[in-house]
Structure 1
């Protein structure tokens, strides 16, 4: 049996009546929306840092644990949604499985190596807490893409869809990609602005002949 030749044929293989599909899509969209809203509020009001008695490191780790937990829930809901969807014979067989495992391997490599490079606070929005890195990370996988965690996660979604042989998984993966591309458009300029402000303050301190000290006031 051949692959679907049009979007109409593909969507015919997706059971949109399954509530689990909509729940999975909602969870995928919710996660980056949640952490962007919370992180920006933290940057402007320091409400999480205040909640943890002024300890911004602890506040950042708490947000990291929350984001990680939400990711596990999102993955569980995605797998459950796939189980409720019809399979397609064209998405079965050894070649598709090899492609699935390759996508999962590369995707997880991107996610794990980027976390290793950035550390916990660098990965989980420490910039918004005032925990800034010394400079831009340029090593692998950031020498390949500026958003390895997002693209790695997208590859893992696609790999899982192929492994299950579910056309619905491919559709959800497209949803994941769109959500992450939108998130990047919001996050990158804001993060760049945080570091630009730090660099400006450093330059002003240097020009005044004073040592630069990060502002830690709440």
Structure 2
């Protein structure tokens, strides 16, 4: 019997918590992308906070962060309802778990530090743009350190609890994030390209005035 077949035998697909966790994993990036794009086009959150786009962004940040905490709770609950695999209840599995959790958290925390709150939580969609592209660690490793770091943490928890179901949910996390990147990156690039065009036009007008 192959390793994958062996692991699959230890996944209880009759547990409702498994599907609830999967749904919450898919919901979060879907939610923040829909809300952020609506904000970019209509400024409905900024208007709600009386034109204070900084405060509106912080409110969205708190919402996204809270949803993330709830998602993690549902994931942990799903793992507790699943059977453990004997091969994952070893010291080696625990070492792998701690390594994945450590590296994953380093990527998430360092990327948040580099971007700040507004840079991390979609400030671009509120018109709060950064001066330039961040290229220092961890962005010199990957252009989506928060997503990959989060995925590593999910896999780390699966190893820590010894649950094959956690591997399936972690793979689901990775797929959801990869899809989100395909939507987010082009949109963000377009926002900054528009900003650069506006700056170039403004600079051109100033040059004409000087003449």
Query: Is residue 71 from structure 1 mapped to residue 63 from structure 2 by the alignment?
Result: no
* Aligned 8 A contact 2:28 2:68 in 1: yes
Query: Is residue 127 from structure 1 mapped to residue 128 from structure 2 by the alignment?
Result: no
Equivalent position SS for 1:87? coil
C-alpha separation in 1, matches of 2:101 and 2:157: 7
2:88 — aligned with what? 91
Where has structure 1 moved over 6 Å in runs of 4 or more?
Answer: none
C-alpha separation in 1, matches of 2:4 and 2:102: 28
1:109 — aligned with what? 106
Query: Is residue 5 from structure 1 mapped to residue 25 from structure 2 by the alignment?
Result: no
C-alpha separation in 2, matches of 1:150 and 1:129: 21
- How large is the RMSD of aligned CA atoms in angstroms? 1.0
Query: Is residue 157 from structure 1 mapped to residue 115 from structure 2 by the alignment?
Result: no
C-alpha separation in 1, matches of 2:202 and 2:187: 23
Note the C-alpha offset of 1:193: 0.3
CA deviations on 1:1-53 (whole Å, 9 max, x unpaired) are: xxx72544432211010000000000000000000000000000000000000
Equivalent position SS for 2:140? coil
Count residues with an aligned counterpart: 207
CA deviations on 1:96-151 (whole Å, 9 max, x unpaired) are: 11110000000000000000000000000000000000000001000000000000
Note the C-alpha offset of 1:92: 1.5
TM-score of the superposed pair, with normalisation by structure 2: 0.96
TM-score of the superposed pair, with normalisation by structure 1: 0.93
Query: Is residue 55 from structure 1 mapped to residue 29 from structure 2 by the alignment?
Result: no
2:21 — aligned with what? 24
Give ranges in structure 1 of 5+ residues lacking alignment: 211-218
Give ranges in structure 2 of 5+ residues lacking alignment: none
C-alpha separation in 1, matches of 2:31 and 2:4: 31
